Amino acid sequence: MIKSVNNYYIEDLIKKDANFYYSIPKYQREYTWGPQQWKDIYDDILENDLGYFIGSIICINNTNDVCNVQELEIVDGQQRLTTLTLLLVAIYNKLKANRDKLNDDNVDEITFLRKSINCKGSPNGLILVPQIQNYNYDDYLLVMAENDLVKTAKKVKNWGNRRIAKCYRYFLFRLERDMEEAGEKAIDILLEIRNKVSKAVLVKIEVGSHSEAYTLFESLNR
């Protein structure tokens, strides 16, 4: 049974001081998106108006009565959700690097983003807990550690050659290029990108069980 279907801005799905986090179960494949998907999602968000629809996620609420923080298990949408969080971390990186150029109103964006990516009560202290296959979990934590979003992370051989690290660096490159092309308006462009990502729209579908999730997934992908 579908429990809820709602449109959400990214800033509401990945939000400051959230009382929920997303988990990717072990049975799912590793992160597989590559340059074309990274380019598509970046270009689509930037080239369209605020509120641009970028897809859906299907999740199961695994929260029990003891927990204060809800665990939302992602059955479909881990590629998109992982990519979006890496894009937000890249934006966070650029905002921090340009802190001295932000005015008093905009400097709060740094704290806001940090508190959106972090989540007190999740197993890793982050809004997203990736699955562990092929170093996904370790690679993701290393990106976060590079940005001081987690205190420590296990250093894994060949980290930079895998997709999570490459995705993060791709977004850093795109942001750097867009800011460079904007010249004196570099900060304005960065803040505009941040706003467009925040106001992109995802549909979150919450179901009651795995069997219901798979049935829905198959019907949506026929």
Task: Give the model's pLDDT for residue 195.
Answer: 96
Question: Do residues 76 and 26 touch, judged by C-beta distance below 8 A?
Answer: no
- The residues that bridge with 2 in the sheet, in sequence order, are 207
- Please give the Cα distance from 44 to 49 (Å, whole number): 9
Residue-by-residue pLDDT tens, the chain, 222 positions:
677 889 999 999 999 989 999 999 988 889 999 999 999 999 999 999 999 999 999 999 987 766 688 999 999 999 999 999 999 999 999 999 999 999 988 999 999 999 999 998 899 999 999 998 889 999 999 999 999 999 878 888 898 899 999 999 999 999 999 999 999 999 999 999 999 999 999 999 988 777 666 666 666 665
Residue 134: left (phi > 0), alpha (psi -120 to 50), or beta?
left
The whole model's pTM is what? 0.94
